[in-house]
Structure 1
Amino acid sequence: MKEVIITKANGQKAVFEPYKVESTCVRAGATKEEARKILERIHPKLYPGITTREIYRLVLHFLSDGVNQAVKHRYRLKESIMRMGPAGFPFETFVGRVLEHYGYRVLSIGAKMQGHCVQHEVDLILESSQDDRKWLVECKYHNMPGRYTGLKESLYTHARFLDLSDMVDREMLACNTKVSDEVVTYAGCIKQRILSWRYPPQNGLERLVEDKNLYPATILGLSRREIEMFSRQRLMIAKDLLDVDINDFVRKTGISPKRILSLQKLVNQIIG
């Protein structure tokens, strides 16, 4: 396959790596054969300087043609997480809900805590069910692709942790983007846990979501109003929609029963 130089979301140039498209499609549920066919179809449309956003749209276009539609929705995981913030879908609440499935209890969200020096508003306080240690979690959300979470966020998370060290035992920085190399180095030095997109390499945020079907409700292709209604009901995880009382949910959100049943069907396809 001919080498093509592409433009990443942050403006940097890079060599197009076909295996990334193929592996992402497979993780979303496509077969290896389907993933290879998609790669074969997008390759003739590549040109020097093509953006990763354009490649993403090409993949979505070809996923719409002959592939299980649930795969297309799962492929849009990163985009779905980025849809949270603008409509008031709190990223920190989503992170808490995900980590509840991995041995943590959420003790508080957005609580004000008095430190040695100043008062802090802390995104999350978690307790590990394994050792009862309390974790301070700072959540950094970006709604634009190509952004990295940098050293500044890691530094202020650690500073906050130090000021609250009488009340918490460990610290974590959680974000929906990739982190810089400086963050990885610094966090490793001070024993700060990082949970981000693709980091840790085999246990990043996307893997935690995929491994236990913890897809955000925004993956269902909701309208802005529907996202707002789901947020008000604190329904963050798509599969939680399967457990709602439909009549009660209709009354509280104004969303029609037909639409809710349709969304529940889609949820079953996505997590199936």
Structure 2
Amino acid sequence: MKKIIITKANGQKAEFDPNKVVTTCIRAGADPAIAKQIARQVHSRVRYGMTTKEIYKIVLRFLSENATPAIKQRYRLKESIMKLGPAGFSFEYYIGQILRHYGYKVLSVGAKIQGRCVIHEVDLSLESSDEKIWLAECKYHNFPGRYTGLKESLYTHARFLDLADKFDGEMLVCNTKVSPEAITYATCIGQKLLSWRFPPQMGLEKMIEEKKLYPVTILGPNKRELELLSKSNMMIAKDLLDIDIYEFAQKTRLPIKRLVAMQRLTNQIIS
């Protein structure tokens, strides 16, 4: 295949790698043969200087033609997380829901806590299974290409130092990638990082995929539906499977037919 230089979301230039398309499609649930076919189709349409956003749309188009709706929606995981904020959802609350499924107990969300010097609004206070208390700072970005960097890591550590008598550990959580400098610093001071693709073996996306904790935005609800779901604190898609559909329809004013369709898609996504 010919080499083509594309433009990443952060403006940097890079060589287009069709293997990444194969990997991400397979992770979304596509058959390897279909994933390779899509990669070839995408590669034939990529042009010099094309942005990753444009390529992403091409991949989605071919997924629509060659795969199930559930696979296409799973492929949109990162995009779905970035839709949480504009939809009125709390990223901290969503992270708390994820960590709860991994043995953490959420003690507070957005609580104001007096430190040695000043009062801090702590995104998340958590208790791990070994009874350690954690301060978690959550950094949310609603556009791709934005790294969470050294500044955010330093900020989290400074807050932890002022609250050191109340917490045993610190954590920085974000929905984008973290910079190499942030990883180096966090490793040095013992700060736990959780982000997109980091730690490599269990980054945020893998934690979500492993326990099927997809955000409700992955179902593709419209603006009105998102507002109604937000008011009901319905953040995890599979939680829709546990509701009394008639009672929930009456509470949210969402049509029963639409809720049934969302439940059906949820079942397909988590299967």
Q: TM-score, normalised by structure 1?
A: 0.98
Report deviation, 1:166. Answer: 0.8
RMSD over aligned CA atoms reads 0.7
Structure 1: where are the runs of 5+ without partners? Answer: none
C-alpha displacement of 1:150: 1.1
For residue 86 of structure 1, give the secondary structure of its aligned residue in structure 2: coil
Taking the TM superposition and a 5 Å limit, the aligned residue runs for 1:1-272 are 1-129=1-129, 131-272=130-271
- CA-CA distance at 1:160 after TM superposition: 0.6
Which string of whole-angstrom CA distances, capped at 9 and with x for unpartnered residues, describes residues 1-28 of structure 1? 1111110001100011111111000000
Letter in 2 for 1:68: T
What one-letter code is carried by the residue in structure 2 that aligns with 1:233? S
Indicate if the aligned counterparts of 2:26 and 2:35 stay in contact, CA closer than 8 A. yes
After the TM superposition, which parts of structure 1 deviate over 2 Å for at least 4 consecutive aligned residues?
A: none
- How many residues are treated as equivalent by the alignment? 271
- For 2:66, what is the secondary structure of its paired residue? coil
Aligned AA (1:254): R
**2:175 is aligned with what amino acid?**
N
SS at 2:97's partner residue?
Answer: helix
Deviation at 1:66, TM superposition (A): 2.7
Structure 1 residue 251 displacement after superposition: 1.6
> What residue identity is the alignment partner of 1:202?
Q
C-alpha deviation, 1:225, in angstroms: 1.6
Query: Partners of 2:56 and 2:228 in 1: how far apart?
Result: 29
CA contact (8 A) 2:196 2:203 kept: yes
Q: SS of 1:57's equivalent? A: helix
1:32-87 CA-to-partner distances (Å, cap 9, x unmatched) read: 00100101111111111111001100000000003111000000000000001012
- TM-aligned CA deviation for residue 227 of structure 1: 1.3
- Contact conserved, 2:34 with 2:66, CA < 8 A, in 1? no
> Counterparts of 2:70 and 2:190 in 1: how far apart (Å)?
38
Query: Which sits farther off after the overlay, 19-28 or 245-254?
Result: 245-254
Residue 224 of structure 2 aligns with an amino acid whose one-letter code is R
